[in-house]
Chain A
């Protein structure tokens, strides 16, 4: 089965630094998502992206976050000035179509640790 690939698997950064988390969605998919999971908490939706623009975002996705599809294959999440509370597992996902019953394919995640 095709896979969503995320790099790096682990990222350690200092508070206030910028980080970019990278994802390669499945090649024929058109809808892209970022989720995160803080240790011991729920997997939370951050943002969805379609046709080179954000289609929906949560209240978590504030001005320090941005997403981009720079080259037609990668899908990145940038955190401009990291805070301690940004430490979490970040999951990228993609789907071929939109719709409530559509299957999302998830990557294995990037564990971000902010020191």
Chain B
């Protein structure tokens, strides 16, 4: 069975500072990995996904994530935080076996301080 662990339920950064949101996964087969973002009063939106092509994945809004098999990690980064990045971020894992469910982490709330 797959699972993800997101370290830190709340991360606070200053505007312009580096954003680093951590995600570690567990999967017995090669996984697909996702980052979703939820802005206030909105649904979950896909930021980026890893599908076994490039290990460094670029997403929307300047975010990127690197798949590191040796560390079973898929951390999300952004070089310079913007106030509009304040949201809840969810890491998720899925395998390619039929229609297996997307398995989410607990989420990390990102606050950006002016």
Which residues does A use to contact B, with CB under 8 Å? 3-4, 6, 9, 31, 33, 35, 37, 40-45, 48, 50, 55-56, 58, 91, 93, 98-101, 103-109
Contact = CB atoms under 8 A, between A and B. Distances in A.
Per DSSP, are chain B's interface residues mostly helix, strand or loop, or mixed? loop
A58 B32 contact: no
Nearest to B90: A43
B44 A106 contact: yes
B43 A100 contact: no
Contact of A100 (B45, B100, B105, B106): B100
A3 B36 CA distance: 15
Given A42-B104, A100-B32, A4 B96 contact: no
B101 A48 contact: yes
A37 B107 CA distance: 10
Contact of B101 (A9, A58, A91, A101): A58
Nearest to B95: A100
